[in-house]
Chain A
Amino acid sequence: MLQQLSWKVGGQQGEGIESTGEIFSMAMNRLGYYLYGYRHFSSRIKGGHTNNKICVRPTQVRTIPDDLDILVAFDQETIDVNYKELTEKSVVLADAKFSPVAPEDCKAPMYIVPFTEVAAELGTSLMKNMVAIGASAALLNLDKAVFQGVVDEIFGKKGQEVVEKNMQAIQQGFETMAEQLGDRLGEWEIAPADGKHRMFMIGNDAIAFGALAAGVRFMAAYPITPASEIMEYMIKKLPLFGGAVIQTEDEIAAATMAIGSNYGGVRAFTASAGPGLSLMMEAIGLSGMTEQPLVIVDTQRGGPSTGLPTKQEQSDLMQMIYGTHGEIPKVVIAPSTGEEAFYDTIQAFNIAEELQLPVIILSDLQLSLGKQTVEPFDYSKVEIRRGKLVENDEIPVAEDKSYFKRFEVTEDGISPRVLPGTEHAIHHVTGVEHDETGKPSEAATNRKAQMDKRLGKLQHINFKEPVYVNAPYEEADILFVGFNSTRGVLEELQQTFIESDIKVNHAHIRLIHPFPVEVMHSLVAKAKKVVVVENNATGQLANIIKMNVGGHDKLVSVTKYDGTPFLPLQLAKQVKELLTDGNI
């Protein structure tokens, strides 16, 4: 019995590869398995190789394995591109339609199954993916009833006949495969799961859900990979809460519209990726200077310029911290799991209002689009804090039309915030340096006071658990550090290394800016080597750690910028090579 199954389906983009993976995963999810998915796709609508790799485990999983147990191929390219991930224990299920050929050095046996033919006999070759799911079920010894609920849900609206046909396709796929397998039937059976119901979602869903739970009622956005799902979720759900989404003419309009809405007192945000964030930089500065709350999601993808729009990278880090001209206070939050994506998004909206500044929620393509098992969100943990929002009856009537001190210099630097429409609080807001009432001022003493006030606000950030820490050792050989979706691969590596008697601690940074200096300082101090793992070429996080914590002599930067996520075995090898090189 397998403790983990690594399953992949591949074919041409636009021929249902995505939904094959989806249906298979949904069924496994309902059995209580933990899942973690990876989508390989290209920036085009139809054509080009695409595949969907899914890891299934009875216990928590947040990484894709290096190897494959089952490869389902709808074309020869799928075999040619992916066979190197196969081992002697793996198997290829290939559609007879394309007369598949196994490469000479392919370690796994190949079964040629008439997916398309069986589907066509049942009425439409479109159902070939259901036949393939049935065949997979035979390898796993899964009861086809497992798929009934999922099929009902997906095809129910097309009528009972379509549901039955699809179930027949699964059944026949199972039977056809069973005949070929003989006594290998069920050889890939996975250890049983706990049967508990959990959510199965992409990070973008978790972020969007979080925004909605945080009370967002307006979103302005421009479509871009890999952020669009956030906007799509809001378009689906905001009408239920009276809110609205505007698809803007560009990202500049998206960010400034969100500022306008926040200025009006409604929680609003936008979501984009690198190119969009580059366009939003001036607006981010405006939010910082005018002390208007603003939340922006940056789903990182391969850069620079158009870069690798559909590939994994974590290279926007420096821009998110330092981008925009001049100096403003800014918060950068980087969740690493579906759960964190949800709770941290809520934190982002609270902090944006409490500190009256821009907050970036940093994600990356693998977190945003990789589908994963997520523990159901806890309603009781949804807390809404709006900071120093002042009501009209708390404000004395102004004499001789003097303006409300919206930018009052206070002890904590946070000024009382009022909303347009408040009777007694008329004031001015401007991106020009201004005095306490918002009137433009170039006076040197005022300039310094306002700068100090704005920049000082970061000291008062209220962010729960700025670092995910799993540090079993007081004296560690290695401290692994990462952010965003590398969480799973580092968790995995920590376990493997510990099993081979290397003392490993793990810190995953959740609040990137302001940097959690204290926590990280003590973790770095407790380690002989600090191995910083990130998907970029220049070691941006490593440099940030050097700037904030030091530890230059023990810092080892491990980078990957080929567009693919880190894989556990590959990364272990990379790290071990560094160790034997006398780096530890």
Chain B
Amino acid sequence: MVTFKDFRNNVKPNWCPGCGDFSVQAAIQRAAANVGIQPHDLAVISGIGCSGRISGYIHSYGFHGIHGRALPIAQGLKMANKDLHVIASGGDGDGFAIGMGHTIHSIRRNVDITYVVMDNQIYGLTKGQTSPRSAEGFKTKSTPGGAIEPSVQPLELALTSGATFVAQGFSSDIKELTAIIEAGINHKGFSFINVFSPCVTYNKVNTYDWFKEHLTKLSAVEGYDSTNREEAMKVVMETEGLVTGIIYQDENAPSYQEQVPGYAPTPLVDQNLKMSEQEFNALIQDFM
């Protein structure tokens, strides 16, 4: 039987001690083991930034691409081999600044992959500039007088973009986070998971303690119905996005692949590349 240890490799992460990303890594490893995935059937595709290094720290196939483009690489891979479990991951800069377009369109498209955003509301690797997730007034090297722009609201954004799975976790609650990622992997479609993953070096406002004080756990909200999109929007707005758990899931929505006309039921990678002479001649006839 697979355990989370099978997903550990020999590489020592270069994250700062106490970084929230360690827990995200552990949660992905545990979730993958719980679902029963073999390491070679998992591919983690990541972006650039501290968080982007995650694909190198998990014993599975890993692709560390370019800034903001983890999602299209992940979708291309899933289209090629539907038998693989594909997890895309990156930071808030990756997903909500440079890669925002891909985030929205991936949510709309609903290709069956899992997207884990490690959201620390700051740019860490470049040593402390504002992020689209930084709160208004947040002081950083690039916003010495405080951030002027309102922050991106990932959960509202996902809900209004036609998401079929929206969840949020917190690095400190690895048990809940593991369960969320597990549900995300099992979801047939695009799973959007935002994770509060504190930066202990550059974000002195949104700390572990700050989150513990402000977060509401959906599991504690009596009678919460995660299949109701209106209720989901309401809880997100009421808590100003400071809520964890599975916020919304539509288990009946077909994934992108299920709707592509003619898309093979078996992985494309297994197909014979060469067409038959008969097929070839039929294509020639179109131009005669």
The stretch from A45-53, A73-81, A198-206 touching chain B is A198-206
Within 8 A of A (CB), among B85-109: 101-102, 104-105, 109
Residue from A205, A254, A422, A432 within 8 A of B64 (CB atoms) = A432
**Inter-chain contact A431/B80, CB cutoff 8 Å:** no
Q: Are B75 and A243 in contact (CB under 8 A)?
A: no
**Which bucket holds chain B's interface residue count?**
35 or more
Residues in A whose Cβ lies below 8 Å from that of B260:
239, 244
Residue pair A218, B56 in contact (C-beta under 8 Å): no
- Mark B48-92 against chain A: 1 for CB-CB distance below 8 A, else 0: 000000011001111111100101111111111101100000000
| Proximity string of chain A (434-463) to chain B, C-beta cutoff 8 Å, 1 when within and 0 when not | 000011100000000000000000000000
Interface-lining segment among B21-29, B219-227, B267-275: B267-275
B261 at the interface (CB under 8 A from A): yes
Give the distance to chain B from A42, nearest Cβ to Cβ, in Å: 27
Check: B284 CB closer than 8 A to any chain A CB: yes
In the complex, chain B residues whose CB is within 8 Å of the CB of A205: 287
Give the distance to chain A from B73, nearest Cβ to Cβ, in Å.
Answer: 4
Q: Does B61 contact A426, Cβ atoms closer than 8 Å? A: yes
A402 and B269 contact, CB distance less than 8 A: no
Write out the residue numbers on chain B whose beta carbons fall within 8 Å of the beta carbon of A249.
101-102, 104-105
Given contacts A213-B280, A283-B66, A429-B63, contact A259 B81 (CB under 8 A): no
Asked, given contacts A249-B105, A431-B64, whether A199 binds B76 with beta carbons under 8 Å apart, the answer is: no
Q: Which residues of B contact A220 (CB under 8 A)?
A: 72, 76
Residues 259-280 of chain A, each 1 if its beta carbon lies under 8 Å from chain B, else 0 = 1111111111000000000000
Cβ contacts under 8 Å, B262 to chain A: 238-244
Residues of B within 8 A of A282 (CB): 66
Residues of A within 8 A of B69 (CB): 252-253, 256, 283
A420 B43 Cβ-Cβ under 8 A: yes
Q: State whether A420 touches B61 (Cβ < 8 A).
A: yes
A148 to B262, CA, bound (A): 34
Interface string of A145-183 (1 = CB under 8 A from B): 000000000000000000000000000000000000000
**A-side contacts of B149, CB under 8 Å:** none
Bound Cα distance A440, B13 (Å) = 11
The answer to the question of B210 belonging to the interface, with a C-beta cut-off of 8 Å to chain A, is no
Number of CB contacts from chain A to chain B under 8 A: 211
1/0 contact trace for B172-203 toward A, CB 8 Å? 00000000000000000000000000000000
Binds B, one of A135-143, A185-193, A373-381, A548-556: A373-381
A218-B76, A248-B72 known; A420 and B65 CB under 8 Å? no
| B residues less than 8 Å from A197 (CB atoms) | 288
With A218-B268, A382-B274 in contact, is A242–B72 under 8 Å at CB? no
In A119-149, the 8 Å CB interface with B consists of none
Known A-B contacts A201-B287, A205-B287, A242-B262; A266 and B269 likewise in contact (beta carbons under 8 Å): yes
B11 within 8 Å of A (CB atoms):
yes
**Contact across chains for A200 and B287 when beta carbons are under 8 A apart:** yes
Q: A248 to B74, alpha carbons, bound, how many Å?
A: 13
A261 x B281 contact (CB < 8 A): no
C-alpha spacing A427/B201, complex, angstroms: 31
Q: Are A426 and B263 touching (Cβ within 8 A)?
A: no
Is A332 positioned at the interface, with any CB of B under 8 Å from its CB?
no
- Report B83 CB to chain A, min CB distance, Å: 7
Binary CB contact string for chain A from 221 to 243 against chain B (1 if under 8 A, 0 otherwise):
00000000000000001111111
Partner of B72, one of A241, A252, A262: A252
A residues in contact with B151, CB < 8 Å: none
Partner of B275, one of A212, A246, A250, A403: A212
CB distance from A431 to the nearest CB of B (A): 6
**What would 28 A/B residue contacts be, using CB atoms closer than 8 Å?**
A199-B284, A205-B287, A212-B283, A213-B280, A240-B279, A243-B262, A244-B260, A244-B263, A246-B79, A252-B72, A256-B66, A260-B72, A260-B74, A261-B80, A262-B76, A374-B287, A384-B273, A384-B274, A402-B10, A420-B40, A420-B81, A421-B61, A421-B81, A421-B84, A426-B61, A430-B56, A430-B62, A431-B64
A residues with CB within 8 A of B:
197-201, 205, 209, 212-215, 217-218, 220, 237-244, 246, 248-250, 252-254, 256-268, 282-283, 285-286, 290, 374, 376-377, 379, 382, 384, 386, 400-403, 419-432, 438-440
Given contacts A257-B72, A377-B280, 15 further A-B contacts (CB under 8 A): A213-B280, A214-B273, A238-B262, A243-B268, A248-B72, A249-B104, A253-B71, A256-B72, A257-B76, A264-B77, A265-B81, A266-B269, A423-B38, A426-B40, A439-B11
Closest 5 CB pairs of A and B: A260-B76, A239-B262, A215-B273, A242-B264, A264-B80
